[in-house]
Structure 1
Amino acid sequence: MPKPKKHVLVCVQGRPPGHPRGSCQERGCNAVYQTFSDEFQKRNLWASGYLLTNTGCLGPCHMGPTVIVYPEGTMYTGVKPEDVATLIDEDLMFDQPVERLLAPAEVWS
């Protein structure tokens, strides 16, 4: 398998209602992941060297849904299905982070 151009990780972590950390699932991550999957299929991104993976917790549960794009390690928070095309068009295709969705710097501290 050739090394991917980009690898998109989408948190789909679910926790019981009322859990103190919350979860991306209660914030709509399943729809975000499905939209990515639909766009990957429509744009033939798997065959073009891109990967998409659903994951467990990526950290900032209270800011979800959370997406990380590698190899840069760019984290996006509060992602909605309508943001997916922009993330693909700007980050995946042109290496331009989508500023309005970037996780705050303190997430990494």
Structure 2
Amino acid sequence: MNKPNRHIFVCTSSRPTGQQKGMCLNKEGVSVMMKFMEEIGERDLGGDVAITNTGCFGLCEQGPIVVVYPDNVWYKKVSADDVEEIMDKHIEGGEPVTRLLI
């Protein structure tokens, strides 16, 4: 596997036991994750962009949280409807989506 240019982390409230519960799960974190996976596939960016679901970032009231590395950009209250904009502006365009920044 090649090292990706960017790595997107999406809080889905996973726990070490595999159980999912919590704010980001209740706020559609899994839907956000699935939409990112769909967009990465449709844009043929699988070798350039990796995606990983995570446990809690500790910012539950602002979830779902999305973090993009190596840019160290943190997004709050991301919905599946925001994913296309993040992909267009940030992942492909290099400019973070300011209205979602933490």
Structure 2 length-normalised TM: 0.87
Q: Residue 44 of structure 1: CA displacement?
A: 1.2
CA RMSD across the alignment:
1.2
2-structure distance, mates of 1:70, 1:80: 19
**1:93 is aligned to 2:63:** no
Q: In the alignment, what sits opposite 1:43?
A: 43
Deviation of residue 2 (structure 1)? 2.8
Which stretches of structure 1, 4 residues or more, deviate above 3 A after TM superposition?
A: none
Q: Does 1:30 align with 2:30?
A: yes
Which of 1 and 2 has greater Rg?
1
TM-score, normalization by structure 1: 0.82
Q: Deviations over 1:67-107 (max 9, x none)?
A: 0000011000100111001101111112101000001xxxx
Gaps of 5+ in 2: 14-19
Corresponding residue number in structure 2 for 1:57: 56
Equivalent residue letter for 1:76: Y
